[in-house]
A and B are shown apart, each in its own frame.
Chain A
Amino acid sequence: MTELKLPSIDYAAISPILIMLGTALLGVLVEALVPRRWRHVVQLTLALLAVLAALTMVVLSADERIITAGQALAIDGPTLFLQGAILVLAAMALLLIGDRSVERGGAFVAQAAVTAESADDRRQAEGRNGLTEVYPLTTFAIGGMLIFVAANDLLTMFIALEVFSLPLYLLCALARRRRLLSQEAAMKYFLLGAYASAFFLFGVALIYGFTAGIPGRPSGVDFATIHAAVGESPASPVLLFAGMALLAIGLLFKAAAAPFHVWTPDVYQGAPTPVTGFMAACTKVAAFGALLRVFQVAFADANWDFTPVLGAVAVLTMLVGAVLAVTQTDIKRLLAYSSIANAGYLLVGVLAPSRDGLAGTMFYLVAYGFSVLAAFAVVTLVRDDDGEATHLSRWAGLGRRSPFFAALFTFILLAFAGIPLTSGFTSKFAIFGPALEGGQAWLVIAGVLTSMILAFPYLRVVVMMWLSEPGESTPTVTVPGGLTSAALMIGVLATLVLGVAPAPLLDLAAGAAEFVR
């Protein structure tokens, strides 16, 4: 019997992951041991400190370029950049999640098992403190995302996918108000997500079969092996193509690309808004981090084969997102479709196989994350007695009632529309430039055309807020407490700074834009 060799693990390099997962476990203990009235403060502090500590470790190991834990984890430039992005955005999301000033007791349900629309439900909606289990759930999800962008083999990637998806399914179900919508969202997300995971797993199996079919080569699902096997150009690439397609479905589902996007509007609408923001920002980063690694490392040599297909998906995604955004009447659904369209733009970046393209995509992810979190932060503030007023008609005349918040939201919308001096413009440029250079002119033209369509719904919201007269039912904007204000201001400032002076972050992204193989 051969001796079992333990893989060497660079614990310092993977410490951000360990910190987040450790904190999540600690959070479970806190639920059991700390008295109820302290839990909120303790959990929130713990989660924020953990994110901070993990971020510090990411910054400290900024020059690390290794593959560790066997072939399972790659800690390289893109990993560290994206982990940093996830952590910063997650910190903002945690601020939103932890806020209890906007709504008494926070945005989360007090008792998840309470029957929707019952008398109990009405009582809990009135202000009993929300669940504190959301914090360990969120930290688990963050930990999973950190693994997901670092995963260097398909099995690790799958496990990471589940680690961050399962808590998200749960989090979606925990909205304090509109319980039915929230539960429906969670159910849909869970079922479709499970389905997508199955696709992914099937893809892994096929890819394994593909590598095993090449004589004289080791079989396996780590990216180096797959890369080598793809380079061999075997006689029958059917297994490779089928496996690649199934993997792509799993990943594109998480990225909310068409035609795997149908869950997005329902889930974005039903989930508690801070969680929606968290998903829109951090899940996007994680999903595209994985897409980038899978297609630019493992399948790099097959790019002639996947580029047309992924390109078509990108065009479809942009088109679906933009066109359907036009017809939306609910602000959260509108932002969901906008997020779908943005997934299309990001795919354009994935298909620009150059350092610039990779750097541009990473820049886009960060810039978009900040803006979208700020947007959802504003959504949490526009409320009436019945919770958030998300129907667009309710936003009429908001600019008169609360010019400051309306101005912030207008700025974010202008950024989404890609007006210069906002990060929305610089990030589009960061992606379209390398794509055009890489010969993908048709994708750039599709991107430009859909941007035109997409400008319309954003503009409609601006018109609603500023040019319409406030009606009887126009809600007021709640003046937020410190946590939401901080998240909102960070998001808006980042949108401005990345639009006016993007050079430092571009430098950082350019320096990080190389995978270890």
Chain B
Amino acid sequence: MSNFPFLSVLTVAPLVGALVVAFLPRHRPELAKQVAFAWSLLVLVLSVVMWVSFKAGGQRFQFHESYSWIPNWGVSFTFAADGIALVMLMLIAVLVPLVILASWHDAESSKRSVPVYFALLLVLECTMIGVFAAADVFLFYVFFEVMLVPMYFLIGSYGGHQRQYAAVKFFLYSLVGGLFMLAAVIGLWVVGGKTFDWQALSQVDISTGTERWLFLGFFLAFAIKAPFFPFHTWLPDAGGAAPAGAAALLVGVLDKVGTFGILRYCLPLFPEASKWFAPWALALGVIGIVYAALLAVGQNDLKRLVSYTSIAHFGFIGVGIFAFTTQAGTGAVLYMLNHGLATGLLFLVVGMLISRRGSSLISDFGGAGKLVPLLAGVLFFAGLASLALPGTAPFISEFLVLIGTFTVNKPVAVIATLGIILAAAYVLWMVQRTTQGTLNPALTEVDGMRRDLNLREKVVVAPLIALIVLLGFFPKPVTDVINPAVQATMDDIGRTDPAPSVGGTVQEAAR
């Protein structure tokens, strides 16, 4: 089964589905939804089969495929997945059907075509899978940029308040990053002997000055995409304006392309420059953790609040990556997955609340738990997961990042730990103001608030809750897959973990 061209099929399948859905008659929206949902389930099934046939202890890159594309430039359709990519692909495959299900009625409130909305979601899935599956830098860049187009229309056409502004800002920010990366991609191509193959490029020796410039080109694109402080200002706008489903994908998956790109491209291709820039990157990460958390505390808009919490979490991921230890690296990758699940859930639940109330302002809620107890409970759970309560999956990743960082850089780890306290503050205060306390009388007059979770919504949240709890207690299946890949990445930059020591100082251990 491992000879099956999983990655190319997975990439193309959603695109075919999108075409089918887009050409379904506009007056039969139900059919379009059903086809889109079925199609995304198909992709999920295929992904599960791929997960099963991935050999955790085997080669670093598996499912390698390569087809010639533009031989003049040494460009080919090369796909390959390591453990990190595999985990992200699974996350996409799980999230997309749930998002489709959660967005069942989202497109109807806008006056736009419903089939097109679901077609755009599937196109987005295609580009997201492609970007994680590509093992050719050119191909990666193509997916990286094309990804903007469906997201742009999802936000711009189907979003809420200020959607035009948010869509354009999102597009321009990402495009700016992408163009810097384009310059670096071309530079890499020139110094790398006119090939785009990742494996060949990772063997190339680059002079120090050039390497730093190329690193910067890539890093800037990824830092905008992730986004790290101070390139983050587009995310609250985009996350706030996007329809909840699209926002879940935007923050849950799309932004991981940035951190994934750093792990896959910046570190292995430019190891020296990565080490040289690491203090700066760590600083950005730490500032992001604290700064975004503080901003999150002050938000009155639910979706913007969740967006800011994500920026804080990306700070953790950044710290985990640039700490250069296997523990922290594994933690960062695990964080990418867990954050996708937890924040995905949070966005979807918040979306359910907002669609009921017709407003995304926290001040418009209050005591909602008395009307919709189940929904309030799920919101509480999602909040706890997102503040990394022990027993939920994010706890493990956050803990790994912190102890992995602590062994090499105590100050950073200590400041980052402050982020946990702030996380408790913004999550609990948000939950308190929306669902606890005295009932806001205005809520009782809104029809939507009388309906608790229906079956469709229960089906959406149940798998995510189950996964978060499961991975919170038993992360081994995932860490087994991630660990070798992170180890290989650390080998690429020539870092080994400090040996564990009992009673000795860290300096001694590092010797």
State which of A414, A421, A448, A460 has its C-beta within 8 Å of the C-beta of B183.
A448
Q: Are A433 and B189 in contact (CB under 8 A)?
A: yes
1/0 contact string of B97-121 vs chain A (CB within 8 Å): 0000000000000000000000000
How far apart are the CA atoms of A414 and B72 in the complex, in Å? 24
Which residues of B lie under 8 Å from residue A148 when comparing CB positions? none
Nearest chain B CB to A401 CB, angstrom units = 13
Q: Are A436 and B71 in contact (CB under 8 A)?
A: no
Does A503 sit at the interface, judged by CB under 8 A?
Answer: yes
B interface secondary structure, majority: helix
How far apart are the CA atoms of A468 and B168 in the complex, in Å? 13
Q: Are A467 and B190 in contact (CB under 8 A)?
A: no
Does B175 sit at the interface, judged by CB under 8 A?
Answer: yes
Q: Are A451 and B179 in contact (CB under 8 A)?
A: yes
| Interface residues in B19-74 (C-beta closer than 8 Å to A) | 69-73
Q: Are A436 and B186 in contact (CB under 8 A)?
A: yes
Q: Are B72 and A506 in contact (CB under 8 A)?
A: yes
Which residues of B lie under 8 Å from residue A433 when comparing CB positions? 73, 186, 189-190
Which residues of B lie under 8 Å from residue A237 when comparing CB positions? none
How far apart are the CA atoms of A418 and B175 in the complex, in Å? 10
Scoring B145, B148, B179 by chain A CB atoms within 10 A of each residue's CB, the highest score goes to B179
With both beta carbons as reference points, the residue of chain B lying nearest to A419 in the complex is identified as B145
Stretch in contact with the other chain, from B149-157, B255-263, B451-459: B149-157
Which residues of B lie under 8 Å from residue A419 when comparing CB positions? 145-146, 148-149
How far apart are the CA atoms of A463 and B162 in the complex, in Å? 13
Q: Are A467 and B157 in contact (CB under 8 A)?
A: yes
Q: Are A437 and B190 in contact (CB under 8 A)?
A: yes
Q: Interface extent on A, as a size class?
A: 35 or more
Does B291 sit at the interface, judged by CB under 8 A?
Answer: no
Q: Are A421 and B175 in contact (CB under 8 A)?
A: no
Which residues of B lie under 8 Å from residue A501 when comparing CB positions? 69-70
Does B163 sit at the interface, judged by CB under 8 A?
Answer: yes
Q: Are B72 and A459 in contact (CB under 8 A)?
A: no
State which of B142, B172, B187 has its C-beta within 8 Å of the C-beta of A459.
B172
Q: Are A429 and B142 in contact (CB under 8 A)?
A: no
Q: Interface extent on B, as a size class?
A: 20 to 34
Does B399 sit at the interface, judged by CB under 8 A?
Answer: no
Nearest chain B CB to A17 CB, angstrom units = 30
How far apart are the CA atoms of A426 and B145 in the complex, in Å? 13
Which residues of B lie under 8 Å from residue A418 when comparing CB positions? 179, 182
Scoring B69, B71, B186 by chain A CB atoms within 10 A of each residue's CB, the highest score goes to B186
A436-B70 contact given A456-B172, A466-B157, CB 8 Å threshold: no
Q: Are A436 and B190 in contact (CB under 8 A)?
A: yes
State which of B70, B71, B142, B179 has its C-beta within 8 Å of the C-beta of A421.
B142
A interface secondary structure, majority: helix
Nearest chain A CB to B133 CB, angstrom units = 16
How far apart are the CA atoms of A448 and B180 in the complex, in Å? 7
Which residues of A lie under 8 Å from residue B186 when comparing CB positions? 429, 432-433, 436, 444
A503-B71 contact given A455-B172, A466-B153, A467-B164, CB 8 Å threshold: yes
1/0 contact string of A385-412 vs chain B (CB within 8 Å): 0000000000000000000000000000
Q: Are A414 and B149 in contact (CB under 8 A)?
A: yes
| Interface residues in B133-151 (C-beta closer than 8 Å to A) | 141-142, 145-146, 148-149
Q: Are B179 and A503 in contact (CB under 8 A)?
A: no
Which residues of A lie under 8 Å from residue B277 when comparing CB positions? none
How far apart are the CA atoms of A510 and B167 in the complex, in Å? 40
Nearest chain B CB to A352 CB, angstrom units = 12
How far apart are the CA atoms of A420 and B136 in the complex, in Å? 14
With both beta carbons as reference points, the residue of chain A lying nearest to B171 in the complex is identified as A459
Does B176 sit at the interface, judged by CB under 8 A?
Answer: yes
Q: Are B163 and A436 in contact (CB under 8 A)?
A: no
Nearest chain B CB to A357 CB, angstrom units = 13
Does A452 sit at the interface, judged by CB under 8 A?
Answer: yes
Which residues of B lie under 8 Å from residue A506 when comparing CB positions? 70, 72-73
Nearest chain B CB to A497 CB, angstrom units = 12
Q: Are B179 and A452 in contact (CB under 8 A)?
A: yes
Nearest chain B CB to A334 CB, angstrom units = 16
Nearest chain B CB to A480 CB, angstrom units = 23
How far apart are the CA atoms of A468 and B164 in the complex, in Å? 8
19 further A-B contacts with Cβ under 8 Å, apart from A418-B179, A466-B157, are A419-B145, A419-B146, A419-B148, A420-B141, A429-B73, A429-B182, A432-B183, A441-B187, A448-B180, A451-B179, A452-B175, A455-B171, A459-B171, A463-B156, A467-B164, A468-B164, A503-B70, A503-B72, A510-B72
- Shortest 4 CB-CB contacts between residues of A and residues of B: A420-B142, A506-B72, A448-B183, A467-B164
Q: Residues of B with Cβ closer than 8 Å to A?
A: 69-73, 141-142, 145-146, 148-149, 153, 156-157, 163-164, 167-168, 171-172, 175-176, 179-180, 182-183, 186-187, 189-190
What are 27 A-B residue pairs whose CB atoms fall within 8 Å in the complex? A419-B145, A419-B146, A426-B70, A429-B73, A429-B186, A432-B183, A433-B189, A436-B190, A441-B187, A451-B179, A455-B175, A459-B168, A459-B171, A460-B168, A463-B167, A463-B168, A466-B153, A466-B157, A467-B156, A467-B157, A467-B164, A467-B167, A501-B69, A502-B70, A503-B72, A506-B72, A510-B72
